């Protein structure tokens, strides 16, 4: 395939190939293996219309570790600010011979629009509330690494489900991989309609966490709350904020995940976030390995096309 636009498009085989390739490359991120040159002579550009620390830097490091030249467009100081359209920006970058465009945009479907209009491979680094496929793939890799597989695992995702591209991508993939996914949050931040994707949606956080193998907290996305947040942050953290007491309802070997950045003290208490059950920092390391795997596999596809 030319692009990676969403988990919805990937088969179980494709997901597992990405996870196994990431596993073979993780040593490069941890300094235990030698860097590769499978992208030597190739160029990648990051175009982030929304803020990012992890995703943008992970792609920059992943491309660099594979030998590519990686540049950042710097949307805030680019001609996007003069009104240049997304498609015209893409065509301009295409004309410079760029091989990979890694884009985050506030509009659902933006990555698909770009991919249709450029020769470069497009990787969706988050499009509105639609999908964040590379985040989900690093989540899958972390679960696969820690639990050895997905079949019958109870994965509970707690938080601002309604605005979450991370939740959607995770649901698309985890249900295909055989996990049982439960989504939990207040009625204003959950969507019962997501049950048609094969998961369960509840408002009782203790019931959701009970016997979970994985508990994934999500950030409250204040930037996407049009009419203000209900319940407010204090009420939210009192009822839905995860702490050690609620985590006790999960299985004894349960793991805590979060895509980050975390609103400390809102969706997670600092005590729980910094405890041994948390794999949040390892998710970041795995994020570089997964993005290396994605770039290397897309490159293989381009060479065999």
Q: Minimum distance from CB of 52 to ligand CP (Å)?
A: 3
- Residue in the structure block whose two tokens are 């390892």: 282
Nearer to ligand CP, 134 or 237 (CB): 134
CA atoms 266, 244, 145, 196: torsion sign: negative
Nearer to ligand CP, 180 or 217 (CB): 217
Nearer to ligand CP, 134 or 180 (CB): 134
Nearer to ligand CP, 21 or 134 (CB): 134
CA distance 62 to 35: 10
Exactly one of 60, 130, 135, 221 binds ligand CP (CB under 6 A); which one?
135
Q: Minimum distance from CB of 88 to ligand CP (Å)?
A: 25
Please tell me the total number of residues recorded for the chain in this structure. Answer: 305
Site string for ligand CP, 34-73 (x = CB under 6 A): ------------------xxxx------------------
Of 210-218, 227-235, 237-245, 258-266, the window that binds ligand CP (rule: CB under 6 A) is 258-266
Structural contact between residues 132 and 75, judged by C-beta atoms closer than 8 angstroms: no
- Residue in the structure block whose two tokens are 């990555």: 111
Nearer to ligand CP, 54 or 163 (CB): 54
To the question of whether residue 132 is assigned a binding role by annotation, the answer is yes
Torsion of CA 238, 240, 241, 242, to 10 degrees: 130
Nearer to ligand CP, 52 or 188 (CB): 52
CA distance 28 to 243: 34
From residue 204, how far is each of 138, 156, 179, 207, 252 by CA, in Å?
27, 12, 20, 6, 20
To the question of whether residue 224 is assigned a binding role by annotation, the answer is no
Q: Minimum distance from CB of 53 to ligand CP (Å)?
A: 4
Number of residues interacting with ligand CP: please give it, by CB under 6 A. Answer: 8
The beta-strand segments (E) located in 128-188 are 154-158, 180-184
From residue 82, how far is each of 72, 78, 79, 92, 243 by CA, in Å?
18, 8, 5, 14, 46
Residue 260 is a binding residue for ligand CP (CB under 6 A): yes
To the question of whether residue 261 is assigned a binding role by annotation, the answer is yes
Phi and psi angles of residue 43, each rounded to the nearest 5 degrees, phi first: -125, 145
To the question of whether residue 260 is assigned a binding role by annotation, the answer is yes
Strand order in the sheet with 214-217: 200-202, 180-184, 154-158, 214-217, 255-257
To the question of whether residue 180 is assigned a binding role by annotation, the answer is no
To the question of whether residue 104 is assigned a binding role by annotation, the answer is yes
To the question of whether residue 168 is assigned a binding role by annotation, the answer is no
CA atoms 244, 200, 143, 1: torsion sign: negative
The two structure tokens encoding residue 302: 């381009």
Q: Minimum distance from CB of 46 to ligand CP (Å)?
A: 11
Of 35-43, 110-118, 186-194, 253-261, the window that binds ligand CP (rule: CB under 6 A) is 253-261
Known binding residues: 54-55, 82, 104, 132, 135, 165, 219, 260-261
Binding site for ligand CP (CB under 6 A): 52-55, 135, 259-261
């Amino acid at each position: 395939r030319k692009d990676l636009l969403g988990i919805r498009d990937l088969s179980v085989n494709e997901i597992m190939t990405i996870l196994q390739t990431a596993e073979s490359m993780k040593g490069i991120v941890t300094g235990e293996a030698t860097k590769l040159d499978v992208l030597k002579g190739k160029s990648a550009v990051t175009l982030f219309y929304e803020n990012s620390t992890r995703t943008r830097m992970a792609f920059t490091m992943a491309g660099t570790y594979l030998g590519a030249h990686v540049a950042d467009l710097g949307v805030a100081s680019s001609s996007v600010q003069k009104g240049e359209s997304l498609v015209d920006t893409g065509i301009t970058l295409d004309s410079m011979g760029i091989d990979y465009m890694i884009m985050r945009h506030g509009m659902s479907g933006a990555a698909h629009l770009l991919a249709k209009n450029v020769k470069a491979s497009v990787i969706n680094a988050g499009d509105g509330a639609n999908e964040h496929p590379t985040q989900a793939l690093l989540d899958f890799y972390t679960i696969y690494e820690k639990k050895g597989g997905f079949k019958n695992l109870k994965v509970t995702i707690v938080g601002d489900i309604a605005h979450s591209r991370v939740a959607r991508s995770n649901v698309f993939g985890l249900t295909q991989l055989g996990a049982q996914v439960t989504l939990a949050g207040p009625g204003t931040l959950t969507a019962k309609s997501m049950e048609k994707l094969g998961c369960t949606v509840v408002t009782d956080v203790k019931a959701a966490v009970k016997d979970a193998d994985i508990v994934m907290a999500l950030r409250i996305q204040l930037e996407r709350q049009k009419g203000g947040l209900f319940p407010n942050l204090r009420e939210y953290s009192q009822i839905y904020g995860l702490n050690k007491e609620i985590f006790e309802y999960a299985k004894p070997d349960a793991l805590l995940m979060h895509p980050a950045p975390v609103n400390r003290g809102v969706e997670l208490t600092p005590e729980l976030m910094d405890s041994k059950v948390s794999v949040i920092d390892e998710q970041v390391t795995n994020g570089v390995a997964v993005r290396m795997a994605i770039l290397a596999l897309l490159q293989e596809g381009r060479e065999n096309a």
